[in-house]
Amino acid sequence: MKSVMKPRNRRTFLRELGVGAASVPFLSGLASLRASAPSRPAQRLVIMFSPNGTLPTEFWPDQFGPDTPLQLKPMLQALEPFREQTLILKGVNNKIRGDGDNHMRGMSCLLTARELSPGNIQGGSDSPAGWASGISIDQQIRNHLQTDPETQTRFGSLEFGVAVPNRADPWTRMCYAGANQPLAPIDDPRQMFDKLYGGAKERQLLGSVLDQVSEDLRRVERRLSGEDRRMLAEHMESVRQLERDIAAAAAQAEPLHPEPEIDPTIELVNDNTPAISRMQIDLLVNALANNMSRVASLQYMRSVGLARMRWLNIEEGHHGLSHEPDDNADAHDKLLRINAWFAGELAYLARRLAETPEPAGEGSMLDHTQIVWVNELGKGNSHTLSNIPFLLVGGGAGFPTNRALDLKDATHNRLWLSLAQAFGDHDLATFGSPEFCDGGPLAI
């Protein structure tokens, strides 16, 4: 299917299109949108997920060590502008076992670092399983930040998705508010836009309609006798009052960064994935810039992602390709392009953050944001949960960057412990299953 060119006048934007009522009452003033000067620098976390493992030979640099400047392989070329703010971690392994297949555990134990509950969802092999049995690291950090008025935000965290299939199971969820409480990513930019800016759009819509209602009321009032006019007069006054309230709320809620333009007519279909991805990233950066949230996740597809990336001229599904043996040169080439594309999206996210000055702070937003790129597997055709390609960009956690470390068989529980402590949660002694936390936070 080719995408249909739309005539010019169809290109309306959400800026014009009034949107949903449900998320934000149109009268709630959102004064907190404007960031005030903080007493300590802001820290933000963005977790980005892409599925089906990586190509180890194309991902890992040739040299590791704290003192060796980072060299990026060609697959990661898109990240070259941010190389000095990049940290690659090898040898971090997901050792969680128990029910469920590796894709399931790779996904639902990735950020929770805890076993799955027994359940009724059957994978390709192994025993059926249910949801993860604990909170995920992004939510752990979110909860920590929400306890402090200075780091508290309207949403706490935002879960973005790109091309996530409409189903809820352990393969499609990585964020958990707690045991058996998966959080669904929002993969529709319009829905996310509503959630973030719905109130403003609604106010705009109502402004124009209420004008007409006032006019109508004046017209019918003329037909009424004195007594009945009283109620119409009250009615007109209440409409005027509402118009005033809306104007006041609008003025109060004016965000620091204007909302991005989103094409409301975009269809949520596979072939539009590149455009949807950019919209989601724009919305994500915008929400962080407006201090609506300090934690976000960006989930591409799901574990076992089946996307057919025709925009890269690849007709086969991603998951199928990832199963091909190492010596299949064609599959290798395609997987290279697929992972290079994900690296490009990550680079776009980093660039948008780098271009945005830190609100009420120094440097760019990237200097204060920790991006963590994760995957449910180390390598597609072996389904290993070892050597998961963890790649960190940005300065949010304050880890030294411009280097690659080989941590040689460290549990990923310990990585999340380091991250939590970097975000100020110093009281956290273990994260996920305690038996995998020996040694405490990783020294990175």
Partner 1 sequence: MFRSTNCLLSFAGFLTVVGLFEAAVLTRVTAEEPIPIGKLYEQKCASCHGADGQGVAGVYEAALAGPRSVAELTGLIERTMPEDDPDDCVGAEAAAMAQYIYDAFYSAEARQRLGLDAPLRLELMRLTVPQFRNSVADLLVHFTPGPAETRARLAAVESGRRPRGGGRRGQQEAVAKPIEAGMRGLYYGSAGMNKANELALERVDQRIEFDFQEAAPVEGVPVEQFAIVWEGALSVPETGDYQFRVATPNGARLYVNFDPAPGIGKLRDDSGNKGQTALIDAWVSSGSLQEASARVFLLGGRKYPIRLEFFKYKEPTASIKLEWKPPHGIWSVLDGASLSTEELSRTFVVETPFPPDDRSQGFEQGRSVSTQWQVAVTGAAVATADEVVKRLPVLVGPARKAAGADAAGEAGQAAEEDLAVEAARRDELQQFIADFARVAFRRPLATDEQTLLRERFFDDQTDPELAVRRAVVWVLCSPEFLYPELARDEPENTEQLPDPHTVAARLALSMWDSLPDQELMQAAESGELVQHEQVQTHAWRMLADPRARHKLRGFYGHWLELEDRDLAKDQQLFPQFDDAIIADLRRSLELFLDGVIWSESSDYRQLLTADYLLLSPRLRPLYQPAEEQAAAEATDGGPSAETFEPVVFSPHQRSGVMTHPYLLSALAYHNNTSPIHRGVFLSRKIVGRTLNPPPVATAFENEQFDPHLTMREKVTQLTSHSSCMSCHSVINPLGFAMEHYDAVGRWRTEENGKPLDTLSDYTSETGESVQLANARQVAELALSSPAAQRGFIAQVAQHWTKQFPVAYGPETVDRLAAAFETEQFHVQNLLVRIATIDALRNEQASLALATSPTSAMGE
- 22 counts as binding partner 1 under rule CB under 8 A: yes
Residues 50-79 that bind partner 1 (CB under 8 A): none
Q: Which is nearer to partner 1, 129 or 284 (CB)?
A: 129
Give the interface segment with partner 1, choosing from 63-71, 119-127, 374-382, 418-426 (CB under 8 A): 119-127
> Beta strands 116-121 and 129-132: pairing type?
antiparallel
Give the interface segment with partner 1, choosing from 45-53, 161-169, 269-277, 376-384 (CB under 8 A): 161-169
Provide the token pair at 178.
Answer: 């707690």
Q: Helical H runs in 53-188?
A: 56-59, 102-108, 137-146
Q: Which is nearer to partner 1, 31 or 168 (CB)?
A: 168
- 167 counts as binding partner 1 under rule CB under 8 A: yes
Out of 166, 251, 329, 427, which residue is the one contacting partner 1 (CB under 8 A)?
Answer: 166
Out of 33, 183, 232, 250, which residue is the one contacting partner 1 (CB under 8 A)?
Answer: 232
Residue position matching structure tokens 């091909």: 324
Give the interface segment with partner 1, choosing from 49-57, 217-225, 322-330, 363-371 (CB under 8 A): 217-225
Q: How big is the CA angle at 358 (ends 285 and 111), to the nearest 5 degrees? A: 50
Q: Which is nearer to partner 1, 209 or 256 (CB)?
A: 209
> Least distance to partner 1 from the beta carbon of 407, Å?
32
Alpha carbons 39 and 129: distance in angstroms, whole number: 46
In DSSP notation, 77-108 reads GGGGGGGGGEEEEEEEE----SSS-HHHHHHH
**Which amino acid belongs to residue 92?**
V
- 252 counts as binding partner 1 under rule CB under 8 A: no
- 433 counts as binding partner 1 under rule CB under 8 A: no
Out of 234, 330, 333, 409, which residue is the one contacting partner 1 (CB under 8 A)?
Answer: 234
Helix, strand or coil, per DSSP, at residue 406 = strand
Indicate the angle between helix axes 273-289 and 329-355, nearest 10 degrees: 30
> Least distance to partner 1 from the beta carbon of 121, Å?
6
Provide the token pair at 38.
Answer: 């903080």
Residue position matching structure tokens 């392994």: 93
- 39 counts as binding partner 1 under rule CB under 8 A: no
Q: How big is the CA angle at 95 (ends 398 and 417), to the nearest 5 degrees? A: 25
Alpha carbons 116 and 274: distance in angstroms, whole number: 32
- 248 counts as binding partner 1 under rule CB under 8 A: no
Provide the token pair at 347.
Answer: 């680079």
Interface contacts to partner 1, rule CB under 8 A: 1-7, 9-10, 12, 16-18, 20-22, 25-27, 117-122, 127-128, 130-131, 133, 165-170, 179-180, 202, 205-206, 208-210, 212-213, 216-217, 220, 223-224, 227-228, 231-232, 234-235, 238-239, 241-242, 245, 264
